[in-house]
Amino acid sequence: MATTARLTLDPAFRIAPVEPRLFGSFVEHMGRCVYTGVFEPGHPLADADGLRTDVLELTRELGVTLVRYPGGNFVSNYRWEDGVGPVEERPARLDMAWRSLEGNAFGLNEFMTWAAKAGVEPMMALNLGTRGVAEALELVEYSNYPGGTRLSDLRRAHGVEAPHDVRLWCLGNELDGPWQMGHKTAAEYGPARRRDRAGPAALRRRPVAGGLRQLQQRHADVRLVGGGGAGGDVRDGRLHLAARLLRPLRRRRRLLPGQRRRHGAHDPLDRGHRRPRGRQAAQHQADQALLRRVETSGTRAASRASPRWTGRSARG
């Protein structure tokens, strides 16, 4: 029996505001994306900075609001220092992600110039594959600090007087994927435990958790973006575990000078909030128990102990 359905589309009908950052894209050192793409000095349509004006126009026409740089798989073996300073002094490197030669003629400061001309918000991706928290903090200092430090003064010596003021920082790229340089399991990528310390060894063991603490302590206005879902861990629930353990860090509050912590604060990562009660407290205890089991056994059965585990789907 045939069924008739009717659908009415009204382009003027509004449900709710849309987060502008949803309309994002990325620029990665891959194929023609950068060289002969957004950047091609000498091209008839290139401007004085070597940026393709036709690509800039198309980017603005598409309505892109947010662009991540420099990757992608590329970032997991990238040294940001290679892409700043006089172009003739920049080293050529082997790109292990796409098996090509990277000349570094286009780097951080060139991308920021492109982002400003395209009218997009930049999101910088951090190399948490072959590098770690120390290098990430140095990149934030170079990019965001006004001056008076070694790296901020280096940026100014490179001809960029004002800081870039990057607000969004991506914590690695697809590190749960076995093809990724510096591959990590979700249990290695996400956990943040009470007994962690701020020492270098702890930061090396848990780059994301340690980096979250250090970046938020030094730069209160930055926002951090976790990433994953590309590899096998999402099938056995461990990436779901990492997402849940990172969740409290999004709510972390910083106390202003003179403020006192509220009575009953208990979580070292979330001290500005009330002690969880009821179902929230039960979920917190389940998360901690699950983390201990995954870290000690590393078995698939451990990750399925979560009360929210539903098989192959991971709901956050």
Angle among Cα 79, 212, 96 to the nearest 5 degrees reads 25
Delineate the domains of the chain, giving CATH numbers in brackets: 21-253 (3.20.20.80)
Over the stretch 145-195, which tens digit does the pLDDT of each residue have?
Answer: 999 999 999 999 999 999 999 999 988 888 878 888 888 776 677 654 333
Q: DSSP alpha helices (H): ranges in the chain?
A: 53-62, 108-118, 133-144, 150-157, 186-189, 200-205, 207-218, 233-236, 238-250, 278-297, 300-303
pLDDT in tens, 256-277: 444 444 444 433 333 344 455 6
Structure tokens at 259: 């403020």
Higher local confidence (pLDDT), 109 or 193: 109
pLDDT for 248 beyond 70: no
pLDDT the model gives residue 88: 96
Question: Which has more confidence, 223 or 271?
Answer: 223
**Closest by Cα among 167, 168, 170, 140 to 155:** 140
How confident is the model over 198-226, as a mean pLDDT?
A: 59
Q: How far apart are CA 232 and CA 238, in angstroms?
A: 9
The average pLDDT across 210-221 equals 65
43-55, pLDDT tens digit by residue? Answer: 999 999 999 999 9
pLDDT in tens, 82-98: 999 999 999 999 999 99
Contact 280, 227 (CB under 8 A): no
pLDDT of residue 201: 46
pLDDT value for 162: 96
More confident residue, 41 or 219: 41
**Average pLDDT in the 120-125 region?**
96
What confidence tens digit (pLDDT) does each residue in 15-65 have?
788 888 889 999 999 999 999 999 999 999 999 999 999 999 999 999 999
DSSP H helices in 53-149:
53-62, 108-118, 133-144
Helix (H, G, I), strand (E, B) or coil at 310: coil
**How far, in Å, CA of 36 to CA of 52, rounded?**
8
Q: Which residues neighbour 301 within 8 Å (Cβ) at sequence distance 6 or greater?
A: none
Report pLDDT for 220: 72
Q: What is the pLDDT of residue 58?
A: 96
- pLDDT higher than 70, residue 135: yes
Q: What is the pLDDT of residue 279?
A: 62
| Residue of 190, 308, 165, 168 lying closest to 249 (CA atoms) | 190
Q: By percentage, how much of the chain surpasses pLDDT 70?
A: 61
pLDDT for the residue 246? 52
CA distance 49 to 43: 11
Mean pLDDT, rounded, for 190-218 = 50
In this predicted structure, what is the pLDDT of residue 217?
66
Please give the pLDDT value at position 306. 35
Residue 176 has what pLDDT? 77
What pLDDT, in 10s, does the model give residues 284-306? 676 666 656 655 554 443 333 33
Between the two ends of the chain, the Cα-to-Cα distance in Å is 40
pLDDT on residue 145:
92
Tell me: the pLDDT tens digits for 71-84?
A: 899 999 999 999 99
